[in-house]
Structure 1
Amino acid sequence: MKKLLVAVVLLVTTMMSAQKGSILLGGNVGFSSEKIGDDKYENFEFSPKVGYQFTDKWTLGVEGSILNYKESGSKTKEAYRVGAFTRYSMPLSELFSFYADLGVGYQERSIDKTKGVYAGLTPGLFINMKKGFGLNFNIGGIGYDNLSGKGTPREQRFGFNFGESITFGISKNFGL
């Protein structure tokens, strides 16, 4: 069971290869569980994306994220993100394409009523299997976010995690 959860944590991402005039539907689903001594931590995240591919290389769209996390003995807490993204895709061959997603937006955490902004750049590789079906892979990215609110210290994060995590997904291209 834990191996299955690890596979889910690695991500089930649905993205589509760029094709002018089509709609990109995608997102991430993730779950993690950690136990340290008697304390247990659980996270569940759902992050959908919808975009319009206005050229063979460029896509613009909206993205969001809902994160539920819980520590043992406490109530479930939520965090939200909503923003915009742009994707640049570059075919390397009929089989492979490189892409990079740049996303920016607003975020809020319910437990301490903090609000802020985020930005992230994530490169990836698309493998076209056949008839619009494909696989997506990335090995991390660069990210920045900040949060602040009344009575809480300001939080700022900047980091990159290339090679620290691997995500993969299955995709299908739907033309208009």
Structure 2
Amino acid sequence: MKKLLFTAAVAVLGFTSVSAQEEVKTYSFGEGDIFIEGMVGFSSSNDKNTEVKENGFEISPKLGYFMSEDLAIGGELSFMSSKEETAGTDTADQSTFGVGVFARYYFLDLGERFKTYTEFGVGYASTNYELADFKVNGFGAGLDLGINYFVTEKIALTFGLKNVLSFASAKADVDGAEAVSEFNLGFGDVANPFGGNAAFGILFKL
């Protein structure tokens, strides 16, 4: 009888252990994982001293593949649009389309669901200045910082600081124009104390 009870107890404990293992959720990435991510950024300013208003937004979809559990590579597209008004009159309208590649490295886990990363990307972009009727084409490279928060095993929210460190070179598409280069280190300022350009998004792990 005792042997029978002992066998039954072992069976129950074994079943409980297996059930507990099946319920363990993994909020992380692994080699071979693929993700789709969309980032959205928005900016707005209103200077009442000069009556100048500026509004802009950015959309950046990405597709990435994990070479290992910490390193992912991929490609991205981007679209940016901004508008400036002075005393209610349009003074600058511009739109930018870009394409690029990136490498992302996850270097720190903050608890079970938070994953922090740094990302390096290079790309090409073309900006159309509508009111002035000319274009500027160029390339650039930038270093971003970001964090993912896993809502579920497959879905994560993203917060990123874009172009904390960046370099860009661009040239207007007009006769006689010379290239203009720019290097930035985004320590931040009064308007944006975090540095870089803040963006929010959502990530889907396939």
TM-score class, shorter-chain normalisation, is 0.7 to 0.9
1:119 aligns with 2:147: no
Whole-Å separation in 1 of the counterparts to 2:44 and 2:147: 28
Structure 1 length-normalised TM: 0.74
Residue identity matched to 2:103: T
Task: Identify if the C-alpha distance between structure 1 residues 33 and 94 changes in structure 2 by more than 3 Å, giving closer, same or farther.
Answer: closer
1:46 aligns with 2:69: no
Q: Aligned match of 2:203 in 168, 171, 176?
A: 171
Whole-Å separation in 2 of the counterparts to 1:31 and 1:96: 24
Report the counterpart of residue 41 of structure 2 in structure 1.
30
Taking only aligned residues, the RMSD between alpha carbons, in angstroms, comes to 2.7
Report the counterpart of residue 155 of structure 1 in structure 2.
180
Task: Identify if the C-alpha distance between structure 1 residues 18 and 169 changes in structure 2 by more than 3 Å, giving closer, same or farther.
Answer: same
Residues 51-81 of structure 1, C-alpha deviation per residue, up to 9 Å, x if partnerless?
Answer: 1223212211111211111222257421121
Contact in 2 for aligned 1:85/1:103 (Cα 8 Å): yes
Whole-Å separation in 1 of the counterparts to 2:149 and 2:71: 18
Report the counterpart of residue 82 of structure 1 in structure 2.
99
Residues 2-44 of structure 1, C-alpha deviation per residue, up to 9 Å, x if partnerless?
Answer: xxxxxxxxxxxxxx95332222111221222322333322212
Task: Identify if the C-alpha distance between structure 1 residues 91 and 129 changes in structure 2 by more than 3 Å, giving closer, same or farther.
Answer: farther
Report the counterpart of residue 3 of structure 1 in structure 2.
none
Residue identity matched to 1:86: A
Structure 2 length-normalised TM: 0.64
Whole-Å separation in 2 of the counterparts to 1:64 and 1:52: 16
Report the counterpart of residue 5 of structure 2 in structure 1.
none
Q: Aligned match of 2:115 in 91, 97, 119?
A: 97
Greater RCO, CA 8 A, separation 6+: 1
Structure (1/2) with the larger strand percentage: 1
Gap regions ≥5 residues in structure 2: 1-26, 188-193
Gap regions ≥5 residues in structure 1: 1-15
Residue identity matched to 1:18: F
Contact in 2 for aligned 1:67/1:80 (Cα 8 Å): yes
Contact in 2 for aligned 1:116/1:147 (Cα 8 Å): yes
Q: How do 1:50-69 residues align onto structure 2 when only pairs under 5 Å count?
A: 50-69=63-82
Task: Identify if the C-alpha distance between structure 1 residues 153 and 17 changes in structure 2 by more than 3 Å, giving closer, same or farther.
Answer: farther
Whole-Å separation in 2 of the counterparts to 1:65 and 1:169: 13
Structure 1 stretches of 4+ moved >6 Å: none
Q: How far apart are 1:129 and its partner, in Å?
A: 4.4
Structure (1/2) with the larger helix percentage: 2
Residue identity matched to 1:126: N
Task: Identify if the C-alpha distance between structure 1 residues 44 and 101 changes in structure 2 by more than 3 Å, giving closer, same or farther.
Answer: same
Greater CA drift, 75-84 or 126-135: 126-135
Percent identity of equivalent pairs: 30
